[in-house]
Chains A and B, each alone.
Chain A
Amino acid sequence: QSALTQPASVSGSPGQSITISCTGISSDVGGYKYVSWYQQYPGKAPKLMIYDVSNRPSGVSNRFSGSKSGNTASLTISGLQAEDEADYYCSSYTNIYWVFGGGTKLTVL
């Protein structure tokens, strides 16, 4: 049940695109389609942004997209906006337990 690996921080200017990586192993990220991404503001509960690698829940902006290659999943945010500044977490569900990434702080410059 080791944590997934995410960069501690990423940054970008308004209008730019950024990508956050999430690296696991073959028994979690690489072995299942159940990769999710969450956005969390300080003091708030996480909000689901992407599920099953690349699906967006209703109401989530299409500026958010997800993908996966091998043991690494990625979250891309295009057209960065000030409101995107938050912490982002990836997770992988293995049919028994969840494992989360350590989180990435996105700063919009």
Chain B
Amino acid sequence: EVQLEESGGGLVQPGGSLRLSCAASGFTFSSYWMSWVRQAPGKGLEWVANIKQDGSEKYYVESVKGRFTISRDNAKNSQYLQMNSLRVEDTAVYYCVWEGFWGQGTLVTVSS
């Protein structure tokens, strides 16, 4: 059974940092691209970032370039999203996504 479990969300002040983690199981993690997608409260879905199997390629939505960094550790079947210089508009539930399977999400709230 595929499982994606996010962690690391919480309340942070504008300009602060958070690191999200996603622990994956039930598939060969090292063989697939992984993604992060977010959903602001009451809003639609927004793709945030992708990472290739070996981490050699990474892509970001324009609004987070230079502030967010996606990474992965295939030995730990995990991916991460380092979020720096957080803004109020980054407030959202962040989902770890693999091939159409979504984790339960972790809420990031950016507020003073």
Interface residues of A (CB under 8 A from B): 1, 3, 36, 38, 45-48, 51, 57, 89, 91, 96-103
Contact = CB atoms under 8 A, between A and B. Distances in A.
A1 B46 CA distance: 10
A106 B103 CA distance: 23
Interface stretch (B13-21, B82-90, B94-102): B94-102
A89 B44 contact: yes
Interface residues of B, number: 17
Q: What secondary structure prevails in chain A residues at the interface with B?
A: strand
B45 A103 contact: yes
B102 A45 contact: yes
Contacts of B50: 96-98
Contacts of B47: 1, 91, 97-100
B45 A51 contact: no
